Amino acid sequence: MINLYELTRPELDSLLASWQQPRFRAGQVWSWLYDKLAADFESMTDLPESLRRQLSDTCTLGVLHIAAERASSDGTAKRVYELPDGQLIESVLMPYDDDRRTACISTQAGCAMGCVFCATGQMGFARHLSAAEIVEQAIHFARQLHREGERLSNVVLMGMGEPFHNYEASLAAVRRLMADLASARGTSRSARLALCRRYADLPMKRCKSGWRSAYMPRPTTNARRCCRSTNATHWPNCSTHAARSSRRPAGA
């Protein structure tokens, strides 16, 4: 089965062209994916029934299965998703009084960083998520809010995992969220996904020894705690982090 959220727009164009569909059909399907946020193929009512059937027989609208969900009295909703290989990841939707609706989504199943104050860090690392698996978490919340007459306003990559350890997929997901989800919903991309915008603009460069960047936060208490609790061997590609970890005080 083809996960439609894995496809870029040109890939969707090619898929539908290979089914001898007219060019405008790809635009219609794309709109159902990112603008109307369809949960099933049956609701794509401007597509011919034969195409809906073909989509339903050969494609999926994502791969995440909701395994558990809890809501708190302040409206915060926490979800556990099961991935096709059985891995579990978490996402949280946080409503704010000023009408912001922020999705906190995961970039990895587990995490290699091992921060001592974090439950995910104690689980260890299972695997990186694909860009589609990252994007789909935001799509689920956007779809739910759309049904309720609201909109997803912000996305932060602060769920399970360290996005810079899964840099390529995280960056691809951010670009997808900005280019497809935010623009399809008809508002300013930078306003809707402010934190992602900042993330995508960070000056990251590959160099001989790994990633060179200015990504480490100012040395706040939490950041210092994170560095001290992290074994540099968990972060083999990050020279900045390795250097900092090697300077950690004895016994910290």
- Binding-site ranges for ligand SF4 (CB under 6 A): 111, 113-115, 118, 120-121, 160-162, 226
Spatial distance between the Cα atoms of 201 and 193, rounded to a whole number of angstroms: 12
The gap from C-alpha 205 to its chain's centroid, in whole angstroms, comes to: 21
Of 29 and 103, which has the nearer Cβ to ligand SF4? 103
Cβ of residue 165: shortest distance to ligand SF4, in angstroms?
8
Of 113 and 131, which has the nearer Cβ to ligand SF4? 113
Cβ of residue 119: shortest distance to ligand SF4, in angstroms?
8
Of 134 and 226, which has the nearer Cβ to ligand SF4? 226
Q: At what angle do helices 221-228 and 239-246 cross, to 10 degrees?
A: 90
Q: Is 173 exposed, middle or buried (0-12, 13-18, 19+ CB in 10 A)?
A: buried
Cβ of residue 111: shortest distance to ligand SF4, in angstroms?
3
Of 107 and 144, which has the nearer Cβ to ligand SF4? 107
Tell me how far apart the 2 most distant CA atoms of the chain are, in Å: 68
Q: What DSSP string runs through 155-212?
A: EE--SSS-GGGGHHHHHHHHHHIIIIIIHHTTS-HHHHTHHHHHHHTS--EEETTEEE
At 124, is the secondary structure helix, strand, or coil? coil
Say if CB 52 and CB 42 are below 8 A apart.
yes
Cβ of residue 244: shortest distance to ligand SF4, in angstroms?
14
Of 62 and 121, which has the nearer Cβ to ligand SF4? 121
Cβ of residue 161: shortest distance to ligand SF4, in angstroms?
6
